[in-house]
Amino acid sequence: MIKYFPGLLVCFWLMSVTSGHAQRGHGSLYSTIGLGLPTYDNYGLAKRMGGVGAGTRSPYFLNTINPASQNSIGVSHTFILDVDASYNQQKITTGGEAISNNFSNLNYFSMWFRIAPKSTLSFGLSPVTIQDYSYSDTHYFEGFSDKYTRIFKGWGNINKLYLNYATSLGSRISIGLRPSFLFGNFQKETTYLDKHEAGYLYSRNNSYSGFGAEVGMQVDLLKNEKRTLTLGTTGQWYSDLIGSGTSQVAEYIGLVDLYEADEIELGYQLGSTVRSGLSFQNKSWTVGADFLYGFATDENKYSVQNQVYSIGAEFMPNYFGSEFIQQMSFSLGANYDTGSILIKGAKVSAYEVSTAVGVPLNRSARLSLGYKYRSMGDIEIISKESLNTITLNFTFGDSWFYRRKFE
């Protein structure tokens, strides 16, 4: 496995960076606002439990929500690879039509290492915001009678490359720090077509970069051999993103450049978040609830503060059991987002329900197959959108670097 490590890293990097381009024009119409919709780190364990993770401490699975949770992995592991991919079926209904889209994504990957008995280090790549939309209208140029069909398309992600350090302070307190480098590229196209399917293409390319930091803490309020009750909290902050933008106009047929504007400087501030939650765990059950508060950003006139309420549970009879059914996991979760966007005086709210079944491939590898339903928005605002998602989460763990004794 070690000799394939560099190749795996490069492969997952490229797939993650380019994942946004695989879904061009197949996303939420609400992602047109700002730099897209936030993801809130809902991957892997968090996704199948409805976004719960502030207080969750799993001995078997990585928790992407709270940086302090990643030293909870059992001593049977010194390395974990976690990858999350999904297939999506989307329906968008507006006042005039209903359309359906299908697309797939590699959502994130992470590699985790134990560097000391109570300290761990991991790094990974995941999107912070996702923008992907396509819609059209009718346009008339001033002074001309010809009617043009105007088609808008846009796609791009803000990604974060992060390093996560977690350690324990005594037997009941864990802390974590996750610094990150942010980067992303956004492509926007506006096409003007006349009745002969000829016209012009106005395209813009914007790129951004910056830094972020997340801190987290988890405290075991109750801890014994049979059960644990954990309180967790985490905060996420991003620096001002600095970027540049270019634009040009070309003929739609032949793409002959007609005009190219000078490069301009860009800036954007992403909204910060704080989250708290409780988690109860025993030998077979993990049950948790979270509350997230998202701050508005002045960079976006539609941005407002929002709250996300999450609840979820996972049941695994016995991870170390000898029978296959004992090592299977069954998850269920739900969340409600009050809406971080305000349009026409109404918040764009959303809710999700999710479920998953996990199966062991062997003692060190697991596969979780999940389903998530998401509903967002309303026709009276812009659109009513639903998303059916099938998620595949792969976790590979191993005991590298152990110094073994022989008698």
- d(CA 17, CA 163) in angstroms, rounded, equals 17
Give the residue ranges of the chain where pLDDT is below 70.
1-25, 399-407
Determine the pLDDT at residue 10.
42
**pLDDT tens-digit readout, 245-281:** 999 999 888 878 888 999 999 999 999 999 999 999 9
Q: Would you say domain 2-398 falls under CATH 2.40.160.60?
A: yes
Determine the pLDDT at residue 399.
60
- d(CA 407, CA 392) in angstroms, rounded, equals 43
- Please state, in angstroms and as integers, the Cα–Cα distance from residue 20 to each residue in 27, 131, 132, 157, following that order: 10, 8, 8, 6
Q: Using the 8-state DSSP alphabet, how is residue 67 labeled?
A: G
Determine the pLDDT at residue 20.
36
Any bridge partners for residue 228, and if so which? 223, 281
Q: Is 319 helix (H, G, I), strand (E, B) or coil?
A: coil
The radius of gyration of the chain from alpha carbons, rounded to an integer in Å, stands at: 23
Tell whether pTM > 0.85: yes
> What one-letter code names the amino acid at 247?
S
E strands in 9-97: 37-38, 79-93
For 155, the token pair is 């796609």
